[in-house]
């Protein structure tokens, strides 16, 4: 499957169906080579941003906000060809959304307060000096809640 096809499909689906597809796509693109915990942390950042509202009112809007997550940073013609990694990403996305639907006190947060993440061996974002929440695999997660979406 091509990334452009998945994003097009998500644009046609009802939001409650599209959001898990967008989240799974983001987990796949950002963290398919990471542990389940690392994938969950990536999903959690997207869900936290959606809940915050500054990046969009749906997961799809959050992960397709310009220059925020891989769906807008990689070639739209990229093929998501690792079927096993795709299935893991889908599983992580559904589990994360189910958990995130719980009341705040009942959620199992992997990276509490994290609003951003980066693979520092690939990128050096300006906000990398803000408080680190955790490093899981190749991603470092940050609490940069005062930054705007733009």
Establish if 140 belongs to a structural domain.
no
3-state helix, strand, coil in the chain (%, to 5): 50, 10, 40
Residue 79 lies in a domain: yes
**Who contacts 72 (Cβ-Cβ below 8 Å, separation ≥6)?**
64, 65, 66
**Which pTM value belongs to this model?**
0.93
Task: Please check the confidence at residue 146 and state whether its pLDDT lies above 80.
Answer: no
**Residue carrying structure tokens 């983001």:** 26
Averaged confidence pLDDT in the chain? 94
Range of the domain at 88: 3-107
pLDDT tens digits, 18-56? 999 999 999 999 999 999 999 999 999 999 999 999 999
Phi/psi-derived region of residue 44, left when phi > 0, alpha when psi is between -120 and 50, beta in every other case: alpha
**7-16, 106-115, 139-148: segment of lowest average pLDDT:** 139-148
Residue 122 lies in a domain: no
Q: Is 77:14 a contact under the CB 8 Å cutoff? A: no
User: Residue 147 pLDDT more than 60?
Assistant: no
Would you place residue 145 in the very low, low, confident or very high pLDDT band (cuts 50, 70, 90)? confident
In a domain, 89, yes or no: yes
**Pairwise CA distance, residues 23 & 62, whole Å:** 9
3-state secondary structure of 116: strand
Asked if 25 and 3 touch (Cβ cutoff 8 Å), the reply is yes
**Residue 139 in domain:** no
**Residue 1 confidence (pLDDT):** 87
Residue 123 domain-assigned (yes or no): no
> Which is more confident, 71 or 150?
71
Residue 110: the pLDDT is 96
Tell me, yes or no, whether 128 lies in a domain.
Answer: no
Q: How do residues 69-94 score in pLDDT, each as one tens digit? A: 999 999 999 999 999 999 999 999 99
Cβ neighbours of residue 52 closer than 8 Å, sequence gap 6 or more: 115, 145
Query: How many domains in the chain?
Result: 1
Q: Read off the DSSP letter of residue 2.
A: B
Average pLDDT over residues 99-104: 94
Quick check: is 38 in a domain?
yes
């Amino acid at each position: 499957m091509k990334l452009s096809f998945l994003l097009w499909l998500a644009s046609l689906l009802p939001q409650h169906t599209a959001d898990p597809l967008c989240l799974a796509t983001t987990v796949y693109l950002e963290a398919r080579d990471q542990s389940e915990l690392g994938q969950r942390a990536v999903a959690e950042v997207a869900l936290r941003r959606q809940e915050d509202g500054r990046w969009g009112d749906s997961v799809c809007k959050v992960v397709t906000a310009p220059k925020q997550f891989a769906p807008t940073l990689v070639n739209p013609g990229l093929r998501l060809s690792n079927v096993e990694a795709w299935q893991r990403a889908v599983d992580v996305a559904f589990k994360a959304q189910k958990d995130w639907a719980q009341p705040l006190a009942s959620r199992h947060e992997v990276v509490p307060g994290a609003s951003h993440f980066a693979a520092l061996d690939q990128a050096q974002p300006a906000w990398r000096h803000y408080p680190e929440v955790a490093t899981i695999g190749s991603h470092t997660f940050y609490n940069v809640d005062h930054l705007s979406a733009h």
